[in-house]
C-alpha cells in the first residue's frame, strides 16, 4: 500500500505550551518544522486554570520572552485581568499573574504559528519513533505516514495513555475529552525509555448565571497593568478588566467530602498515578489538613465569550453527585450548575534523568522532549522547556553547542537542572524557594540576564538587542551617578526627610546612602535630586534595586562564583562509575542514574555526599592526566 513519506528538519509532537514554543523556536531558527497535534482546534489549550504566571511561574514567562519566545506576548494580547503578587515583598519575589481568555489565548497562538515561516501544522497522532543505531531518524503516524527528520521534540503533555476519572466513571481520553495518544509509550519503551505514570486534576466549571456573587468578595486586577513581554508597550495593555471572586468552603462541604471518601477513586485505589502535593484535590486538603475549618475558593472567568467559571481550589475526582452537593454547599454556589465535571487525569511521562541538560535523550541522539512529558506541571514550566528544546534541536542540526542555562542564570536553568538531576516522584512545579540565587534571578531583570543569549541564538532581532544595550548603559550610568551625587543638609532636604519620617542629615551624604534607607527609594528621592534626568520606569527600578540591595546582591554574586567553579568541572558522559573506587554504593547508583554533566551537578544529587564528590574529583583528575 502506498504511504505518505516526507522529509523535514524537525518534528514536534504535541501543540501545547511546550510544543508551541519548541516549534516556533525551531522554525524561527530556519529549521523546516512539522508540528503534530491531535486537534488543531486545541493548540495552546489551557485545560486547567485560566491564568498565566504567578509566583516563580511569572519569572519563567519573562525569561521565555527574554529569549525570544511567544508566551509573554500571547498573554499580553489575550489577558482579561492582571495583577502583581507579593508587591509588598522584596523585588525577587514580585510576580506577575494574568487571567487569560482561554479561547482567545489558543486562537491567538494558532495565528502566530500559522504565520511563521518554515512551520507546518499537521493534525495527526504520532505513534512510533524510528530509531537507527541510537539515532532518531523519523516518526511514523497513525495513518502509516513516515516523516523523516533530523530531530524530534516530544511534547505530549498529559496525552500518553491518558485516562480521566471521577467517581467510578473513567474515560480513556486526554483533557477535555480529547483523543488520547495510546501508542507512543510502547515505542518509547521498546527504545529503552523508562516511563512513570503521573496524575493531576482539575476542578469543575460552573455556569456563571447560576452563581450568586453577592456572597463573595470581589478580586480586581491592578489599576496599572504591567505587561509580561519586554516588547509590549505598557500603554497598550491598559484595558477594562474582569473580576475574580473569593469564597470559602465550610464544615458542611467537608462533611460531604468525608462521608463520600470511600467513593473517591484515589482512596479506592482506582488511580495508580502519583499526584502533585502542591495542587491537592479538595478531598486531599480535607483529609490532610483536617484541623482547617475552611479553604479558599477562587471563582475565575474562563473567558469573555463564555459563561463558564473555574472553581479554583476545589479540584476533585469524587463522583458527579458528590461534586454537585459539595460545590452547592459553598456560599454563592448554592444553585450552581456544573458545565464540566471535575476530574483527575492519569498519563505516562518519563524519568527525566534520561535527558541531558540540553533536553536531548542521552541514549537516543536527536530526540528531545519538553513539558509535562518530562514530569513537570504547569503551562509556564512547559513553555520554558519547550523553547530550550526547540533551540537545542535546531542547534544540534546546525552542529552548534546546545544552549544550557545554569541555576545562576535563570529559573529555566533551575527547572531543567532539577528535572534531569533529581529523582522526581510527582509532577514538578517551579517554586521561588528552589532558586538558590533568586535575588539575582528577578522577573524585572530577565531581559538583562537573557536577551543577549537569545540574540546569540538568533531569536532576538538586532533592533531589540540594540535597545537592550542602550538600557544596560543607562542603568549603569545612572547607578554610577547616584553613587557619586552628594546631598547636602539644606532646608529642602531636611523637610523632605521629615515628610518621609526619615532621620535628618547631620552632614552631607551620597544619594545612594539615602536610597538604602528602608523608608526611602530612588523614585521617592526624585524631589531632592536636582540633576536627575528623566528615565523610563524600568530603568529607575533597576537603579533602585541595584543600590538598595547591593550588599545582598554582592553576597549572591560571590556565591555564584563558587557555584560556577564546580559547574565548570565537567564529567565525561562515558565515565564508568563502577571503576571509581571508594564511592559508596548509594552514591554510585544515583550517579549512574543521573549521569551528571559536572561536579556541581553531581553534588546536587540526593545520596551523593561531599566526600563522594571529592573522590570523584580526585578520580577525574588522575584520569585526565593519564
Partner 1 sequence: MGGDTIAAISSAAADSGIGIVRISGPDSFAVIDRIYRSKNGDRKLSREKSHTIHYGYIEDDGDVIDEVLVMIMRGPGTFTAEDTVEIDCHGGVCAMRRILETVIKKGARLAQPGEFTKRAFLNGRIDLSQAEAVMDVIQAKNEYALKNSVSQLKGSVRKEVSELRERILYHIAYIEAALDDPEHISLDGYGEEMAGEISQMQEKILRLISTADDGRILKEGIRTVIVGRPNAGKSSVLNTLLGEERAIVTEIAGTTRDTLEETINLNGITLIITDTAGIRETENVVEKIGIGKARKKLEDADLVLYVVDSSEKLDENDAAIVRMLRTKKAIVLLNKSDRKTVTTREMIEELIRNGNGAAEEKNDSQCSGALPKEEKESIGKSPEKPEMKSSRREETAYPVLSISALKGTGIDLLEDKLKEMFYQGKLSMDNEVCITNMRHKELLAEAKESLEKVQEGIALGMPEDFLTIDLTEACRALGDITGETSSEEVVNEIFGKFCLGK
Give the whole-angstrom CA distance, residue 378 versus residue 383: 9
Integer Cα distance of 166 and 308 in angstroms: 20
DSSP 200-240: EEEEEEEEGGG--GGGSEEE---SSPPPSSTTS-GGGG---
Span of 283-291, 329-337, 341-349, 387-395 interacting with partner 1 by CB under 8 A:
283-291
Binding mask 526-555 for partner 1 (x = CB under 8 A): --------------------------x---
**One of 132, 507, 518, 533 touching partner 1 (CB under 8 A):** 518
Residues in the chain: 626
CB of 130 to partner 1, least distance (A): 38
- Asked if 277 interacts with partner 1 (CB under 8 A), we say yes
DSSP 363: S
Residue of 214, 433, 503, 574 interacting with partner 1 (CB under 8 A) = 433
User: Which residues between 368 and 387 bind partner 1 (CB under 8 A)?
Assistant: none
The answer to whether residue 198 forms part of the interface with partner 1 (CB under 8 A) is no
Residue 299 CB, shortest distance to partner 1, in Å, is 12
Regarding 33 and contact with partner 1 (CB under 8 A), the answer is no
From the list 90, 134, 234, 458, which residue makes contact with partner 1 (rule: CB under 8 A)?
A: 90
Q: How far is the CB of 580 from partner 1 (least distance, A)?
A: 8
Please report how close the Cβ of residue 331 comes to partner 1 at its closest, in angstroms: 18
C-alpha cell at 410: 535563570
Q: Which of 178-186, 280-288, 318-326, 328-336 is the region at the interface with partner 1 (rule: CB under 8 A)? A: 280-288
- Provide the minimum distance between the beta carbon of 288 and partner 1 in the complex, in angstroms, as a whole number: 7
Contacts of 212 (CB under 8 A, 6+ apart): 332, 333, 334, 335
Is position 621 an interface residue for partner 1 (rule: CB under 8 A)? yes
Question: Exposed, middle or buried by CB within 10 Å (0-12, 13-18, 19+), for 96?
Answer: buried
Kindly state the DSSP code that residue 362 receives in the 8-state scheme: S
Q: What per-residue string of b and e applies to 109-118 under the rule 16 or more CB within 10 Å gives b? A: bbebbeebeb
Using CB under 8 A, pick the residue from 72, 174, 280, 371 that binds partner 1: 280
Task: Choose between 78 and 202: whose C-beta lies nearer to partner 1.
Answer: 202
CB within 8 A of 459, min separation 6: which ones?
25, 28, 29, 67, 68, 69, 391
In angstroms, the CA 535 to CA 53 distance is 27
Among positions 150, 161, 205, 295, the unique one binding partner 1 when judged by CB under 8 A:
295
Beta carbon of residue 166, minimum distance to partner 1 (angstroms, whole number): 17
Candidates 146-154, 163-171, 399-407, 603-611; binding stretch for partner 1 (CB under 8 A): 603-611
Q: Is 584 in the site for partner 1 (CB under 8 A)?
A: yes
How far lies 179's CA from each of 36, 91, 152, 159, 270, in Å? Answer: 13, 43, 21, 8, 21
Q: Going edge to edge, which strands form the sheet with 95-100?
A: 51-53, 95-100, 79-85
Q: How far is the CB of 432 from partner 1 (least distance, A)?
A: 6
Is residue 559 within 8 A of residue 491, CB to CB? The reply is: no
Q: Smaller CB distance to partner 1: residue 109 or 599?
A: 599
Note whether 352 and 375 are within 8 A (CB): yes
Q: Is 55 an interacting residue with respect to partner 1 (CB under 8 A)?
A: yes
Q: What is the DSSP string of 480-512?
A: HHHHT-EE---HHHHHHHHHTT-PPPSS-EEHH
The reply on whether position 431 binds partner 1 by CB under 8 A is yes
Number of residues in contact with partner 1 under rule CB under 8 A: 55
- Which range, of 401-409, 472-480, 482-490, 610-618, touches partner 1 by CB under 8 A? 610-618
d(CA 393, CA 30): 11
Q: Which residue number, 73 or 285, has a Cβ lying nearer to partner 1?
A: 285
Binding positions for partner 1, rule: CB under 8 A: 48-49, 55-56, 85-86, 88-90, 92-93, 203, 276-280, 285, 288-289, 292, 295-296, 298, 312-313, 315, 422, 431-434, 438-439, 518, 552, 565, 580-582, 584, 604, 606, 609-611, 614-615, 617-619, 621-622, 625-626
Amino acid at each position: 500500500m502506498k504511504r505518505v513519506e516526507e522529509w523535514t528538519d524537525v518534528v514536534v509532537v504535541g501543540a501545547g505550551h511546550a510544543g508551541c514554543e519548541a516549534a516556533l523556536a525551531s522554525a524561527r531558527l530556519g529549521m523546516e518544522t512539522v508540528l503534530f497535534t491531535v486537534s488543531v482546534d486545541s493548540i495552546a489549550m489551557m485545560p486547567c486554570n485560566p491564568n498565566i504566571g504567578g509566583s516563580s511561574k511569572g519569572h519563567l514567562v519573562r525569561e521565555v520572552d527574554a529569549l525570544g519566545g511567544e508566551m509573554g506576548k500571547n498573554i499580553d494580547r489575550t489577558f482579561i485581568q492582571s495583577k502583581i503578587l507579593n508587591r509588598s515583598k522584596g523585588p525577587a519575589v514580585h510576580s506577575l499573574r494574568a487571567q487569560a481568555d482561554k479561547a482567545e489565548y489558543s486562537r491567538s497562538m494558532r495565528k502566530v504559528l500559522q504565520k511563521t515561516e518554515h512551520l507546518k501544522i499537521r493534525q495527526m497522532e504520532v505513534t512510533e519513533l524510528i530509531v537507527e543505531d541510537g539515532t532518531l531518524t523519523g516518526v511514523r503516524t497513525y495513518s502509516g505516514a513516515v516523516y523523516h527528520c533530523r530531530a524530534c521534540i516530544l511534547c505530549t503533555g498529559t496525552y500518553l495513555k491518558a485516562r480521566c476519572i471521577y467517581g467510578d466513571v473513567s474515560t480513556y481520553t486526554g483533557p477535555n475529552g480529547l483523543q488520547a495518544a495510546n501508542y507512543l509509550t510502547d515505542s518509547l519503551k521498546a527504545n529503552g525509555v523508562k516511563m512513570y505514570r503521573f496524575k493531576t486534576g482539575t476542578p469543575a466549571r460552573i455556569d456563571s448565571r447560576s452563581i450568586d456573587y453577592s456572597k463573595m468578595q470581589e478580586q480586581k486586577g491592578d489599576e496599572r497593568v504591567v505587561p509580561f513581554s519586554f516588547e509590549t508597550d505598557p500603554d497598550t495593555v491598559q484595558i477594562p478588566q474582569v473580576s475574580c471572586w473569593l469564597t470559602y468552603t465550610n464544615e458542611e462541604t467537608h462533611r460531604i467530602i468525608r462521608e463520600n471518601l470511600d467513593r473517591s477513586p484515589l482512596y479506592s485505589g482506582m488511580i495508580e498515578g502519583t499526584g502533585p502535593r502542591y495542587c491537592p484535590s479538595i478531598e486531599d486538603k480535607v483529609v490532610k489538613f483536617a484541623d482547617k475549618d475552611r479553604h479558599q475558593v477562587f471563582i475565575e472567568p474562563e473567558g469573555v465569550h463564555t459563561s463558564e467559571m473555574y472553581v479554583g481550589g476545589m479540584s476533585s475526582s469524587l463522583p458527579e453527585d458528590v461534586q454537585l452537593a459539595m460545590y452547592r454547599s459553598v456560599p454563592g454556589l448554592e444553585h450552581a450548575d456544573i458545565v464540566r465535571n471535575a476530574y483527575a487525569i492519569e498519563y505516562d511521562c518519563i524519568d527525566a534523568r534520561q535527558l541531558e541538560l540540553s533536553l536531548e535523550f542521552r541514549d537516543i541522539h536527536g530526540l528531545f522532549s519538553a513539558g509535562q512529558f518530562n514530569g513537570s506541571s504547569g503551562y509556564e514550566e512547559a513553555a520554558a522547556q519547550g523553547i530550550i528544546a526547540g533551540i537545542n534541536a535546531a542547534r544540534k542540526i546546525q552542529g552548534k553547542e546546545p544552549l544550557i542555562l545554569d541555576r545562576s542564570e535563570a529559573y529555566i536553568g533551575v527547572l531543567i537542572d532539577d528535572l534531569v538531576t533529581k529523582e522526581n516522584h510527582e509532577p514538578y512545579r517551579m517554586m521561588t524557594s528552589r532558586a538558590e540565587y533568586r535575588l539575582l534571578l528577578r522577573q524585572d531583570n530577565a531581559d538583562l540576564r537573557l536577551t543577549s543569549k537569545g540574540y546569540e541564538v538568533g531569536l532576538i532581532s538586532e533592533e531589540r538587542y540594540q535597545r537592550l544595550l542602550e538600557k544596560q548603559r543607562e542603568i549603569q550610568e545612572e547607578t554610577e551617578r547616584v553613587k557619586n551625587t552628594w546631598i547636602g543638609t539644606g532646608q529642602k532636604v531636611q523637610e523632605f526627610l521629615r515628610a518621609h519620617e526619615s532621620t535628618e542629615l547631620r552632614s552631607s551624604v551620597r544619594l545612594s546612602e539615602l536610597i538604602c534607607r528602608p523608608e526611602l527609594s530612588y523614585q521617592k528621592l526624585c524631589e531632592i535630586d536636582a540633576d536627575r534626568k528623566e528615565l523610563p520606569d524600568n530603568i529607575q527600578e533597576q537603579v533602585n534595586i541595584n543600590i538598595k540591595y547591593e550588599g545582598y546582591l554582592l553576597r549572591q554574586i560571590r556565591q555564584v562564583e563558587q557555584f560556577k567553579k564546580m559547574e565548570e568541572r565537567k564529567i565525561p558522559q562515558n565515565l564508568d562509575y563502577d571503576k571509581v573506587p571508594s564511592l559508596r554504593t548509594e552514591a554510585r547508583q544515583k550517579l549512574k542514574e543521573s549521569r551528571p554533566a559536572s561536579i556541581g551537578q553531581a553534588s546536587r544529587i540526593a545520596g551523593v555526599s561531599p566526600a563522594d564528590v571529592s573522590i570523584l574529583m580526585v578520580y577525574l583528575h588522575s584520569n585526565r592526566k593519564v
